[in-house]
Amino acid sequence: MAASLTRSLISPLTSRTPAKPSRSDQSPQLLRRRSCVSVRASTFGNTNSSDGAVPAACNVLTQDSPPRRLTSAPVPNSECGGSPLRVAYQGLCGAHSESAALKAYPNCEPVPCDQFETAFEAVEACSVDRAVLPIENSLGGSIHRNYDLLLRHRLHIVGEIKYAVRHCLLANQGVKVEHLKKVLSHPQALAQCEYTLTRLGLVREAVDDTAGAAKHVALEKLEDTGAVASSAAAEIYGLDILAEDIQDASLNVTRFLMLAREPIIAGTDRPFKTSIVFSLEEGPGILHKALAVFAERQINLTKIESRPMRWSSLTSPGVDASGLQKYFHYLFYADFEASMASDDAKMALQDLEKLATSLRILGSYPADTTMP
Residue-wise pLDDT for 263-314, tens only, equals 999 999 999 999 999 999 888 999 999 999 999 999 999 999 999 886 554 4
Does residue 307 contact residue 330 with C-beta atoms inside 8 Å? yes
Known catalytic residue at 62: no
pLDDT at 361: 97
pLDDT score of 282:
85
> From the candidates 256, 278, 332, 336, which is the catalytic residue?
256
Sign of CA dihedral 367, 186, 232, 248: negative
- Beta strand 109-113 with 86-90 is parallel
Q: With pLDDT > 90 as the criterion, what percentage of the chain qualifies?
A: 68
| Whether 278 is catalytic | no
Residue 20 vs residue 182, higher pLDDT: 182
- Say if residue 70's pLDDT is above 60: no
What pLDDT, on the 0 to 100 scale, is given for residue 17? 52
Q: Give the DSSP H or E segment for 358.
A: strand 356-366
pLDDT of residue 117: 97
Which listed residue (47, 254, 278, 332) is catalytic? 254
Residue 15, pLDDT score: 44
Q: What average pLDDT score do residues 186-208 get?
A: 95
DSSP helix/strand/coil, 299: coil
Q: What is the pTM of this model?
A: 0.80
